[in-house]
Structure 1
Amino acid sequence: MNQPSQNLVTILGIPFINTTKHQFEKIIHERISNHKNTFVVTANPEIVMYANDHQDYAALIKSADYIIADGIGIVIGAKILKHPIEERITGYDLFTHLLNWGNHHHKSAYFVGAKPEVIKKLQKTVAEKYPQLTIAGTHDGYFQDDQEIVADIQVQQPDMVFVATGYPKQEQFIQKNRHTAKGLWMGIGGSFDVLTGTVKRAPETWQELHLEWLYRVIKEPSRISRLMVLPKYLLRVLKQRRSKN
């Protein structure tokens, strides 16, 4: 990572950038405008725990330029460690902000991920909402061989590449192929589903109370098993704090 240590908060070995959403947006704007190759990881407790159990993945995400605190669990973990993070920066909010910024500055974006029907819907949604943003290309997330996609990215040279295939696949795709375009590369999970309305995001009140996770479980009860990672994550964070005392 490119950030000095004083701007980082390390949780279970994963170094998060400690800044505000506005400051981070400015950093990314500048890097995109200067055609600097940039890899951003949007990490929540699930990703941190997966990295803890898979050292190759941990090394991969630590090779990124920035890891941002996507989940409220990361913010809580930082408080437990007595190194508070200034602000949560959600992957979805950063994604939509960059689409809007790209629209106003005539940038281009490439989209990889989601189901075939969702990526088709995404093309229409982005064209309608962000008409001055060039859609450099799209591809659904159901591919066995990425050579054709990567070759297209290399030809198009988009300012931003958004990969929504879920972890660890999206970060593996980015690390393997980021050298092909001098722009932003960011993994954003299910953001295409949310932008197209395929999956409804929690209302603002729930977001403000940091209860988006609960809203999603209510809407998708099958996700409840994924919540089991949270107490395990918090126990490991408490163990980290005790080891430093």
Structure 2
Amino acid sequence: MAFSTVSVMDIPFIKATSQEFLAQLQQDIDHQQNRFIVTANPEIVLYARDHPDYKKLILGADYITPDGIGIIKASQALKQPLPERVTGYDTMMALLDKANQQHLKVYLVGAKPEVMAKVVEKIQHNYPGIELSGYHDGYFKDDQAIVADIAAKQPQLVFAGLGYPKQEQWIQANLSKTKAIWMGVGGSFDVLSGLTKRAPKFWQDLHLEWFYRFLKEPTRFKRMLAIPKFMWLIRK
């Protein structure tokens, strides 16, 4: 299934619900397709606008999903509404469920060592059907050993939580090592580990997850400024 797309500041977002997207990913897994997923929020769109090399890189992805209410609001303002947010965290969790049921091989790269240790513990406890092929925290200088390990283990799902633009650059450089679903998951490992709390459903339903995160982490203020700047540019 080829999804139609909606262009927001020259970034083509898939026009699909989370369920439709997951159904497509299941087909991709079944047919051993190599897929590169970018989960893009307003920060990433603005970064791509200012960094042509990064923009070119993410335009080469198979799927760009609207991870952020700002993208949905922008599509509505452009009179081409996207159906809903398709977040990196929710997609990763749904894929972990699939991996657990289907005994898929999963590889994890990213986050702080203590975060990755907690993530591994949770996966081994909550998802006994997953074959955890390997994992490494995001604090590496040379990734040759990690890449060689991925090539040897041939996982079907690779999650990179290195933050943008590094995670997308790393995925693009290593896509050829195994036929897998490759996805940049940003700070999702922090949430999965339990060390960072995700906004309660009440805040998510009000589309105020970003504000909840700001209240919990006031140091994010500078990053939060991306949202009003993004919407101002869309209105222009």
TM-score class, shorter: over 0.9
Secondary structure of the structure 2 residue equivalent to 1:64: coil
User: What is the match of residue 238 of structure 1?
Assistant: 235
- Residue identity in the other structure for 1:136: S
2:180 corresponds in structure 1 to: 183
Q: Counterpart in 2 of 1:67? A: 64
Distance 1:234 1:204 in 2: 24
Indicate the SS of the match to 2:196.
Answer: coil
Which residue of structure 1 aligns with residue 14 of structure 2?
17
Percent identity (aligned): 51
Is contact 1:3-1:17 (8 Å) kept? Answer: no
Q: Which runs of 5+ in 2 are unaligned?
A: none
SS of residue paired to 1:202: coil
Matched, 1:148 2:150: no
Q: CA deviation at 1:3?
A: 4.0
Match runs of 1:21-40 below 5 Å: 21-40=18-37
1:99 partnered with 2:96: yes
**Moved runs in structure 1, 4+ residues, more than 4 A?**
none
Other-structure match for 1:108: 105
Root-mean-square deviation (CA, aligned residues, Å) is: 1.0
* Corresponding residue SS for 1:88: coil
Unaligned runs of 5+ in 1: 240-245
Contact 1:108 1:134 in 2 (8 A): yes
User: Which residue identity does 1:139 align to in structure 2?
Assistant: H
Q: CA deviation at 1:229?
A: 1.1
Give secondary structure in 2 for the equivalent of 1:163: strand
Give per-residue Cα distances to partners, 1:161-197, cap 9 Å, x unaligned. Answer: 0000100000000000011010100000001110010
Of residues 45, 48, 62, the one that matches 1:48 is 45
Post-superposition shift, 1:230?
Answer: 1.3
Aligned length: 236
TM-score by length of 2: 0.98
| Aligned equivalents of 2:168, 2:143: Cα separation in 1 | 14
Cα shift at 1:45: 0.1
Q: How big is the shift at 1:216? A: 0.5
